[in-house]
Amino acid sequence: MFLSYGSNPPHYPEWQAYFRQHQPPMLIAWGANDQIFPAAGAEPYKRDLKTLEFHLLDAGHFALESAGDQIAGLMRDFLGRHVAK
């Protein structure tokens, strides 16, 4: 997984362009203590997306391990509001 991550950054501009054009609703649950991807990495999303929910959690890089229940609740709530029933 670490070796393949290097292929992602060159795609960032096209992903951001997609977000700006299509405006998908987005939920971001980010670890405030993430030493690999600091919270500042969310700024492009905040800038480009109109329907963005951003939650800075008391967690590190592997937020699902330490805040899984909280993230699951955020996901259920978000999907309940943004997915057609």
CATH number at residue 9: 3.40.50.1820
Q: What is the pTM of this model?
A: 0.83
Q: Which positions are annotated as active-site residues?
A: 61
Please name the residue that has the structure tokens 């699902």: 64
Give the domain extent around 49. 2-82
**What's the total number of domains in the chain?**
1
Helices (H), 1-85: 2-5, 12-22, 43-48, 63-82
pLDDT mean across residues, the chain? 91
Model confidence band, residue 51 (pLDDT cutoffs 50, 70, 90): very high
| pLDDT of the residue at 9 | 84
End-to-end Cα separation, the chain, in angstroms: 35
Question: Of 37, 28, 44, which Cα lies nearest the Cα of 62?
Answer: 37
Task: Determine which of 5-9, 27-31, 56-60 has the lowest per-residue pLDDT on average.
Answer: 5-9
Confidence bin at 56 (pLDDT 50/70/90): very high
